[in-house]
């Protein structure tokens, strides 16, 4: 994928929102990992699978860039996602609920692609966002 670092970071977000796992993978250098707040890491294959699962369970997604910053080989983005739960997800039948997530993601670039990322999401997961406000949750 060709483009500036900001364009590639934006493509990373938009391909996720569109459910385009192959497009998302095209933004990443082989060996890419994302480091999570809890110390775990996910691979490109893990993220492609999540993208496919979310496309089926949340086909209606919107996202908004709240802040972006590029410096040297790094791009930082603060993004708000709004998802509508209209398909089965993690054993949960569709609720029709609209959930909001906020994400800070930091990308490091090499050879014109994202080589490594660090991410913090609030709530911690889509599952947690869906559980908020549910009886017994």
Scan for tokens 């947690």, then name that residue: 128
Q: What is the pLDDT of residues 36-54, one digit of tens each?
A: 999 999 999 999 999 999 9
The answer as to whether 111 is a domain residue is yes
The range of the structural domain enclosing residue 75 comes to 5-131
Q: From CA 115, how far away is CA 61, in angstroms rounded?
A: 26
> Which pLDDT belongs to residue 136?
38
Q: What is the pLDDT of residues 70-94, one digit of tens each?
A: 999 999 999 999 999 999 988 889 9
The answer as to whether 75 is a domain residue is yes
Write the CA distances from 15 to 25, 52, 95, integer angstroms: 9, 11, 24
Average pLDDT over residues 57-72: 94
Question: Would you tell me how many other CB atoms lie within 10 Å of the CB of residue 38?
Answer: 8
The answer as to whether 63 is a domain residue is yes
Task: Report residue 134: phi and psi, to 5°.
Answer: -80, 145
Query: What's the structural domain count of the chain?
Result: 1
**Per-chain mean pLDDT for the chain:** 91
| Residue 135: pLDDT band with limits 50, 70, 90 | very low
Scan for tokens 């569709």, then name that residue: 94
- CATH number of the CATH domain containing 101: 3.10.450.50
> Which pLDDT belongs to residue 127?
79
Q: How far is CA 12 from the centre of its chain?
A: 8
The answer as to whether 126 is a domain residue is yes
The answer as to whether 110 is a domain residue is yes
The answer as to whether 137 is a domain residue is no
* Helix axis angle, 5-18 to 44-57, nearest 10°: 50
Average pLDDT over residues 22-38: 96
Q: Kindly give the pairing relationship between strand 113-122 and strand 33-36.
A: parallel
Q: How far is CA 88 from the centre of its chain?
A: 19
The answer as to whether 107 is a domain residue is yes
pLDDT above 70 (res 137) = no
């Amino acid at each position: 994928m060709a483009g500036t670092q900001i364009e590639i970071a934006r493509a990373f977000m938009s391909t996720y929102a569109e459910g385009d796992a192959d497009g998302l993978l095209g933004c990443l250098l082989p060996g890419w990992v994302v480091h999570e707040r809890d110390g775990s890491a996910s691979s490109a294959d893990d993220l492609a699978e999540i993208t496919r699962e979310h496309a089926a369970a949340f086909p209606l997604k919107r996202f908004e860039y709240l802040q972006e910053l590029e410096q040297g080989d790094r791009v930082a983005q603060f993004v708000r996602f709004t998802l509508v739960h209209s398909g089965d997800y993690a054993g949960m039948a569709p609720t029709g609920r609209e959930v909001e997530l906020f994400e800070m993601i930091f990308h490091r670039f090499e050879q014109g692609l994202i080589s490594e990322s660090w991410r913090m999401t609030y709530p911690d997961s889509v599952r947690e966002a869906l559980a908020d406000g549910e009886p017994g949750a």
